[in-house]
Structure 1
Amino acid sequence: MNTEHRHTDNQHTGHQPGERTFLRSFEDPAAVAHYAEGPRRFVPGLEALHRMTGLLLAERAPRTVLVLGAGGGGEIKALAEAQPDWSFVGVDPAGEMLRLAERVLGPLMARTELVQGYIDDAPEGPFDAATCLLTLHFLEAAERRRTASEIHRRLRPGAPFVAAHASFPQGPGERDAWLDRYAAYPAAMGADPAMVTKARAAVAASLNAFTPDEDERILREAGFSDPALFYAAFTWRGWVAHA
């Protein structure tokens, strides 16, 4: 695989306000330098999520894996270390996050191509499997459905797709209760209280979180069959489905 990450000139116009807000922080070198601390504190069982993702993909013995939202490199690192025969194409809009991924992956870049951009900038494939972890909640429903459809279009028939992101009840009173739980976890993990308060406010204002039922419906409408929930941790849900 190409060991350099390539940039594209596509000007995708589907960016949502929440996506733009978070993308700015992902282009901030100071914020990116401490990025790895955030997911570990805010996402319960992150390492287990990576491990389970690898096991679910391995059921279909893939060789090429498309990773949408690859910035930071943690997901690819976990998968590549567990599966020495797999190769990866990682796509992310934030150049600073891709540079972090290069540093995190080190010699694993020999099996990785990194592409700066969005799903439209990803190679056509076909790929044997795909993942999208902690990313789809930046997109509103129509753009999420379109993105999932474009992932589906790049997969071989029967290929597994693992998606995990913020997904929790949105009814009156429920949303705030679950956002409080979202904030309680990193606080219990020792995160700075001011940072937790800021993160909760940003998530409440900017993320496009839907109910698990809505998320499953989006996967089906994108062409995936039988989405199955395999991960649930406070405000986070993960599914495996097949093209």
Structure 2
Amino acid sequence: MKNDATQLLQKSQAYEHNARISVPGYDILFSMIQAYFRAQLGVHQASILIVGAGGGNELSAWGQFNPKWSFTGVDPSEEMLQIASYKATQCGLDSRVQLIQGTIDHLPATTRKFDAASCILVLHFIEQWQEKLALLQNIHEQLKPGKPFVLVSAYGQRDSEELQDRIKIWQSFFLDVGYPQAKVEDMGKVIMNISFISDQQIEQLLRESGFQHITRFFTSGLFAGWMCHA
């Protein structure tokens, strides 16, 4: 059992380490989202939907400091959910956290709607436009009217020089912390396998999904964040 906990701790630390290199300002991003949710939700009880909850960073960033918030997280990766579950336990959040392996379509059938939702670093792993749209529409359906949603995703025109320049900067962060040149070059090829679309197209997807008052609030390297309302 101790070995299992040690392995989860190591995996958790590795995931967070790479995330912080990949997304400069990673911790500030979570603080900004927390501030946005707090401004919208006040001091009341609130239920938060986390789409892509594997890794559990939302839980550790928001759960400890917002005792009236409860969390429902979905993620298709069993291993990543194990890390999220480990973090929930370490932070004393077990009674306020429900984790579900699968997609948003695997949420239990219920009439309950959520008070807020996040989808952080997920959308760019979905290839087809209609699948991206379906995900965002499903999130919209799960929210109470007018409630806040935050989306964070990679963005950019795939064949543009602008995106290639940003990828070079992204690679430089990994070189600066000691990653081998060959590995970083391979990472540059791998990153092109994700589904890049422009920031204008992401905002179009949000509008088509029914979200309003769309505001881009965060930009860092390859990634950007938008806040909006159902």
TM-score per shorter chain, which class? 0.7 to 0.9
Measure how far apart 1:183 and its partner are: 1.4
Q: Secondary structure at the match of 1:82?
A: coil
Give the direction of change, closer, same or farther, for the CA distance of 1:199–1:128 in structure 2 (3 Å limit). same
TM-score (norm 2): 0.86
Give the Cα separation in 2 of the matches to 1:134 and 1:192.
Answer: 25
Change (3 A) 1:228 1:208: same
| Paired position in structure 1 for 2:167 | 179
What is aligned with 2:194?
207
Contact persistence 2:53–2:74 (CA under 8 A) = yes
After TM superposition, the structure 1 = structure 2 runs for residues 57-136 of structure 1, keeping only pairs within 5 Å, are 57-61=37-41, 63-106=46-89, 107-123=92-108, 124=110, 125-136=112-123
CA distance in 1, matches of 2:121, 2:135: 14
Residue 174 of structure 1: CA displacement? Answer: 2.5
Spell out the pairing of 1:219-230 with structure 2 (5 A cutoff): 219-230=206-217
Pair 1:42-2:22 in alignment: yes
* Unpaired runs of at least 5, structure 2: 1-7
Which amino acid in 2 is paired with 1:196? V
Comparing 35-44 and 229-238, the one that deviates more: 35-44
List alignment gaps of at least 5 residues for structure 1: 1-28
Given that 2:59 and 2:87 are in contact with CA atoms closer than 8 Å, whether structure 1 keeps it comes out as no
SS state at 1:59 partner: helix
Among 154, 163, 171, the residue aligned to 2:142: 154
Contact 2:77 / 2:101 at 8 angstroms: preserved in 1? yes
Paired with 2:36 and 2:178, the residues of 1 have a C-alpha distance of 31
Which amino acid is the alignment partner of residue 28 of structure 2?
A
2:126 maps to 1:139 = yes
The reply to whether residue 240 of structure 1 matches residue 220 of structure 2 is no
* Structure 2 letter corresponding to 1:149: Q
Query: How far apart, CA to CA, are the structure 1 residues paired with 2:134 and 2:125?
Result: 13
Aligned length: 214
1:78/1:172 Cα in 2 relative to 1: closer, same or farther (>3 Å)?
closer
- In the aligned structure 1, how far is the partner of 2:185 from the partner of 2:58? 26
Structure 1 residues 65-110: Cα deviation after superposition (integer angstroms, max 9, x where no partner): 0000000101221011221110000100000110111112212122
Structure with higher RCO (Cα < 8 A, 6+ apart):
1
Partners of 1:157 and 1:195 lie apart in 2 by 46
- When Rg is computed on C-alpha atoms for both structures, the one with the higher figure is 2
**SS at 1:127's partner residue?**
coil
User: Are residues 40 and 89 of structure 1, via their aligned partners in 2, closer, same or farther at CA, if it must alter by over 3 Å?
Assistant: same
Q: Percent identity?
A: 33
* 1:105-155 deviations in Å (ceiling 9; x for gaps): 212122100000011112453000000111111012211110000000000
> Are the equivalent residues in 2 in contact too, given 1:67–1:76 (CA < 8 A)?
no
CA contact (8 A) 2:155 2:223 kept: yes
